[in-house]
Amino acid sequence: MIKNNTETRIKDNQVTYKRYFDVDVDLLFEVWSKPEHLSEWWGPDGFTLTIKSLDFSNGGIWEFVMHGPDGHDYKNKIQFIEISKPHFILYQHLGDGEGDEDVNFQSRIVFEKAGEGTNLIMEQIFSDKQELERVNKKYGAIEGGKQHIGNLAKYLERISKP
HEC string for the chain: CCCCCCEEEEECCEEEEEEEECCCHHHHHHHCCCHHHHHHHCCCCCCEEEEEEECCCCCCEEEEEEECCCCCEEEEEEEEEEEECCCEEEEEEECCCCCCCCCEEEEEEEEEEECCEEEEEEEEECCCHHHHHHHHHHHCHHHHHHHHHHHHHHHHHHHHCC
pLDDT, tens only, 118-135 = 999 999 999 999 999 988
- On the question of pLDDT at 30 being above 50, the answer is yes
Q: Do 24 and 152 meet the contact criterion of CB atoms below 8 Å apart? A: no
Mean pLDDT of 39-56: 96
- On the question of pLDDT at 100 being above 70, the answer is no
| Model confidence, pTM | 0.90
- On the question of pLDDT at 116 being above 50, the answer is yes
- On the question of pLDDT at 96 being above 80, the answer is no
Task: Note the pLDDT of residue 98.
Answer: 60
Looking at per-residue pLDDT, the higher value among 138 and 71 belongs to 71
Per cent of the chain over pLDDT 70 is 93
- On the question of pLDDT at 9 being above 70, the answer is yes
What are the structural domains of the chain?
7-160 (3.30.530.20)
Mean pLDDT of 19-28: 96
Task: Note the pLDDT of residue 120.
Answer: 97
Local confidence band at 145 (pLDDT 50, 70, 90 cut-offs): very high
Q: HSE-up of 6 (CA within 13 Å, CB side)?
A: 24
Task: Note the pLDDT of residue 5.
Answer: 82
- On the question of pLDDT at 97 being above 80, the answer is no
